[in-house]
Amino acid sequence: MEKRDKIIVVGGGFAGLQFARKLNGKIEKKVMVIDKANHHMFQPLFYQVACGRIEPSNISFPFRKIFQRSKNIQFRMTDVKEIIPSEHKIITEDATFHYDKLVIATGCKTNFFGNQKMESLAYGMKNTQEAISIRNHILLTFEKLIIKRKSSDDGNWNIVIVGSGPTGVELAGAFAEMKKDILPRDYPRMNFNDLDIILVSSTEKPLAVMSPESQENSEKYLKDLGVKFISDDRVIDYDGDKVFLKSGKIIPSNNVIWAAGVTGNLIAGLEETSVKNNRYIVDRYNKIKGFDDIFAIGDIAYMETPKYPNAHPQVANVAINQGKNLAQNFLKKSQKDWTEYEYIDHGSMATIGKHRAVVDLPKLKFQGLFAWYFWMFLHLMLILSVRNKIAIFFNWMWSYINKDSSLRLIILPNKKNKTEQ
């Protein structure tokens, strides 16, 4: 009997999941997916969890459910600590696993640019737990303020979002609508006129990677919603109560969300010569520099091509298609038949509250109501299960009709032993 390839995939994000699904049912490949969470997360909608618009379970998909009927894919929930290439093994916090081929799809984490104080006090949003933490913290702030009424006008309740990419812009729009339509109903005795939603940007316009039309319209939409947009400025310090900007401005707030960049989730064990900009250097087949049996896909992969001399953008489309391409290459009999990865940019989009969105397609750009419907349709199609598609659609329609949702729950974990995460 022919020996089966033992393939270990570290990370179950867009890239890792697509890779594994492409190999599902291919008996000649024995695949193990390793992730420190037991579920895949649909990251583009994290901001809606943070704002209480949808349930975390609606954008979370258990790996064991996804591969429940698979005969060649296993899942292990653990954290990979080190790779030992010379012995073809990885060391996790619970066990050691050997591989024939290793695929690293660990994605990215929030980049605080070495600011330890900011990292400890501000909130990132790169996983479900962080999105829930933001929701808990914001709602707890209002619950405490209604008891300490004198604190509600000192500015500490301001919501400051650092970074004006799609995540920052979508968060700002969602919180602005929450301030307008929901908070006055929940807290009728509080005056929310003094609550500011502030978006701090290091660039002149929001959504700097999109077209000038999208930048102009997104700024207009933000201002229409009452968001204070601070451009060409940077956060240099934060003490938990005040945000200090490079321009000298000081913003009172204990609700700071950091959406100003990401950095790769590297694993110890590979040479520094294999790393650039905190991502693994790979060839056009996603093979890591210096190794024949270790690959990297998705946000963690640094692939230079003639079209993208500074590597591909760290977006879902790249991750999904790199995962698919590598899996298809693994199924070919010879590496001579492998196909190089070529990124085809299908465009980008962002939504800024209800009826407001911007869409940049390769040959078409549009904004407003139709863009908002387009954004909703596309994101619904990308959700994995039919049940979750229906649940999200129902929540969106209910929120659309009533300008409200019933998902503003404060759920804090109660740790009792070391096995609880």
Give domain limits for the chain: 5-110+263-337, 116-257
Copy the structure tokens of residue 113.
Answer: 């640019």
Q: Of 280, 383, 297, give the one whose Cα is nearest residue 10.
A: 297
pLDDT in the model for residue 54 = 87
Distance CA 180, CA 191 (A): 11
Distance CA 229, CA 226 (A): 9
Give the neighbor-by-neighbor strand order of the sheet with 101-104.
Answer: 73-77, 29-35, 5-10, 101-104, 294-296
The 10 Å Cβ neighbour count of residue 86 is 7
Ranges under pLDDT 70 in the chain? 1-2, 149-155, 406-407, 413-421
Class of domain 116-257: alpha beta
pLDDT in the model for residue 216 = 97
Residue by residue, DSSP assigns 62-131 as EHHHHTTT-SSEEEEE--EEEEEGGGTEEEESS-EEE-SEEEE---EEE--TT-HHHHHHSB--SSHHHH
Q: What are phi and psi of 104, to 5 degrees?
A: -95, 120
Does residue 69 come out as left (phi exceeding 0), alpha (psi in the -120 to 50 range) or beta? alpha
pLDDT in the model for residue 406 = 62
Superfamily classification of domain 5-110+263-337: FAD/NAD(P)-binding domain (3.50.50.60)
pLDDT in the model for residue 371 = 96
pLDDT in the model for residue 191 = 84
Amino acid of residue 409:
L
